[in-house]
A and B are shown apart, each in its own frame.
Chain A
């Protein structure tokens, strides 16, 4: 789960990590008041959306007075921000963060991540703050310092020293970095973060360190033990269909094709998208209905799939292991009937009780194309979407 910059900075403050003063505003008037309270020579007005690249897209503006901050907020609030990360459709800005500006001497990069390959945590730091770390890794990997941390030993002082020397910090800054990284690491562990990224980490003209931008990512699987983090979730930042699917325990990802998919199991669901592509078609979504796909679940899944106006056909692909295909078939028939399904439906049933399931589909009186193999399913769904079935 992602959170906004303003939420990330509140958490950093809670864990003793230095951040500039700042306030959230949802109207130009609030931005004016916030800037006046901050009483800094320069403030920065920043669009709060879950996406990087905000500056280039016009979502971050400098202001030298409260009036200028109000004008900047006026321009940013309500705009649709299009960055590399948001794609064409962009994101509507509903909130801005007004933050005290600072004199920047150096911009650095610092992150704590889970290193999947090493099965450890790692501190990643670079002298190239403000750039995406992937870009630095590509262009000048020698400017990146990576220090692994054993999950059961925790953070050691010498590891932070290694980072500090790698960044070329002086004695006072090295001392500051110990507290800074210790706070980040405590946040990482105590809140089950999967990414804590400070980019840039700033060294001011006065030699102080603080976090100018912050990106926090939390492990969805651990939210059950962090109600405070779960409460930071902003539904406005998510695809409404993905949100709705999540509420009924379905994994859904919207795509830009026209064949709606309902599959049991994540791997088979990904493979079904691949199959459609191999057959020359284009999937409208990923949808993993999970193990127990009964009538109600099938119905809800169909509803979510059909909310996408591009959908010209639906492919149901079930490999019945423990799930019995005849029960799934009953669910599909009932759901299709109750919803008065108008797009062509291709159903592939395989595994436990598949023959019985196909019989139920054939005798339903509904216009359902049955398929036995994965290849047949793909071909028939693609033909149906083209209006050839």
Chain B
């Protein structure tokens, strides 16, 4: 089962540049069905054995694709997201970093009336271990199992997944939801998907400073979740008013502090790791059944 993607997912790659082609190759190696690429003006070509189409609609009609990964550069990325929605895809993960916030605000408003689920932008993508790799994650560090992982960060996701795998705890699906102020799938959305997935028994969520998505997730955990959740919030010592790498990682006007997020999550019954080195241990203590 897992969430978002599995062995049956048929993936398109929007943006067949260096990065798109490189990661399409790694996804194919991992066993993902990459059925086509989209690059306006390159329709009809075959790049690295992948048929290329001019439009997403055409690619869907000819390949039966149901998901896409977007590597389109920032000026055209929001348009690529809406194109994926217009073509009727069920899932798109947008890897692109640096999309103007205004473009995303408009795209997100369009998506509200569409069946497309967007992951990202500015995210590493989605991996369902041994089934499907969408994006840029090093899938080799994952192993199949019962824990859902959701994170705003890329490399910190790898850190958490690695910690879990070393304790012998596998993952149902790992997804990075992205470090931008406006993103497609929020923590709350991801938690709802994991809650509904029979193969996911527990969840690790990794938040960071900025915005209030973690506080909203805490409310959801308290009222809707039956499965144990462990968390870590990065940036506990970040100075206010400074953007910490991610466009969305900023404490502004006294809002978005790590301490507030930790307090909200703990009040909702989430086990919060106070050291980034003990994310997996914190989950294992909170949900001892995972260790068998």
Contacts of A121 in B (CB 8 A): 105
B32 at the interface (CB under 8 A from A): no
Q: Check B245 against A270 for contact (C-beta < 8 Å).
A: yes
Q: Check B245 against A288 for contact (C-beta < 8 Å).
A: yes
Q: Check A266 against B181 for contact (C-beta < 8 Å).
A: no
Q: Check A266 against B237 for contact (C-beta < 8 Å).
A: no
Q: Check A270 against B209 for contact (C-beta < 8 Å).
A: yes
Rounded to whole Å, the gap between the CB of A250 and the closest CB of chain B is 10
Are A268 and B156 also in contact (CB < 8 A) when A119-B105, A221-B247, A286-B238 are? yes
Contacts of A269 in B (CB 8 A): 244-245
Q: Check A322 against B236 for contact (C-beta < 8 Å).
A: no
B140 at the interface (CB under 8 A from A): yes
Q: Check B75 against A224 for contact (C-beta < 8 Å).
A: yes
Rounded to whole Å, the gap between the CB of A218 and the closest CB of chain B is 10
Contacts of B238 in A (CB 8 A): 270, 273, 286
Task: Write the chain A residue with the least CB distance to B277.
Answer: A375
Contacts of B227 in A (CB 8 A): none
A258 at the interface (CB under 8 A from B): no
Q: Check A286 against B244 for contact (C-beta < 8 Å).
A: yes
Q: How far, in angstroms, from A134 to B255 measured CA to CA in the complex?
A: 9
Q: How far, in angstroms, from A353 to B100 measured CA to CA in the complex?
A: 35
Q: Check B102 against A321 for contact (C-beta < 8 Å).
A: no
Contacts of A85 in B (CB 8 A): 241
B146 at the interface (CB under 8 A from A): no
Q: Check B242 against A274 for contact (C-beta < 8 Å).
A: no
Rounded to whole Å, the gap between the CB of A271 and the closest CB of chain B is 4
B289 at the interface (CB under 8 A from A): no
Q: How far, in angstroms, from A134 to B103 measured CA to CA in the complex?
A: 27
Rounded to whole Å, the gap between the CB of A187 and the closest CB of chain B is 12
B187 at the interface (CB under 8 A from A): no
Rounded to whole Å, the gap between the CB of A299 and the closest CB of chain B is 20
Q: Check B245 against A189 for contact (C-beta < 8 Å).
A: no
Rounded to whole Å, the gap between the CB of A281 and the closest CB of chain B is 11
Q: Check B153 against A268 for contact (C-beta < 8 Å).
A: yes
Q: Check A116 against B181 for contact (C-beta < 8 Å).
A: yes
Rounded to whole Å, the gap between the CB of B65 and the closest CB of chain A is 24
Q: Check A152 against B109 for contact (C-beta < 8 Å).
A: yes
A133 at the interface (CB under 8 A from B): yes
Q: Check A222 against B101 for contact (C-beta < 8 Å).
A: yes
Determine the interface band of chain B, counting residues with CB < 8 A from chain A: 35 or more
A182 at the interface (CB under 8 A from B): no
Q: How far, in angstroms, from A222 to B105 measured CA to CA in the complex?
A: 13
Q: Check A274 against B244 for contact (C-beta < 8 Å).
A: no
Contacts of A271 in B (CB 8 A): 156, 159, 232, 234, 276
Q: How far, in angstroms, from A129 to B159 measured CA to CA in the complex?
A: 47
Q: How far, in angstroms, from A192 to B216 measured CA to CA in the complex?
A: 27
A373 at the interface (CB under 8 A from B): yes
Rounded to whole Å, the gap between the CB of B127 and the closest CB of chain A is 11
Q: Check B158 against A319 for contact (C-beta < 8 Å).
A: yes
Rounded to whole Å, the gap between the CB of B207 and the closest CB of chain A is 9
Q: Check B208 against A270 for contact (C-beta < 8 Å).
A: yes
Q: Check B140 against A221 for contact (C-beta < 8 Å).
A: no
Are A152 and B137 also in contact (CB < 8 A) when A134-B254, A270-B209 are? no
Task: Write the chain B residue with the least CB distance to A87.
Answer: B239
Binary CB contact string for chain B from 89 to 110 against chain A (1 if under 8 A, 0 otherwise): 0000000001111110110111
Contacts of B216 in A (CB 8 A): 117
Binary CB contact string for chain A from 319 to 357 against chain B (1 if under 8 A, 0 otherwise): 111100000000000000000000000000011100000
A151 at the interface (CB under 8 A from B): yes
Chain B 168-183 residues near chain A, CB threshold 8 A: 179, 181-182
Chain B 191-247 residues near chain A, CB threshold 8 A: 206, 208-209, 211-213, 216, 232, 234-239, 241-247
Closest 7 CB pairs of A and B: A267-B153, A266-B245, A265-B155, A267-B156, A321-B138, A222-B100, A271-B276
Inter-chain pairs besides A117-B211, A274-B236, 14 sampled, C-beta below 8 Å: A114-B181, A116-B182, A116-B212, A119-B108, A134-B253, A253-B242, A267-B206, A270-B244, A275-B276, A286-B242, A321-B124, A321-B158, A350-B162, A351-B141
A-B contact pairs, 14 of them (CB 8 A): A114-B101, A114-B181, A116-B181, A151-B102, A221-B99, A222-B101, A265-B153, A268-B158, A268-B234, A270-B153, A274-B236, A275-B276, A321-B158, A322-B138
| B residues apposed to A, CB below 8 Å | 23, 26, 74-75, 98-103, 105-106, 108-110, 124, 136-138, 140-141, 151-159, 162, 179, 181-182, 206, 208-209, 211-213, 216, 232, 234-239, 241-249, 253-254, 274-278
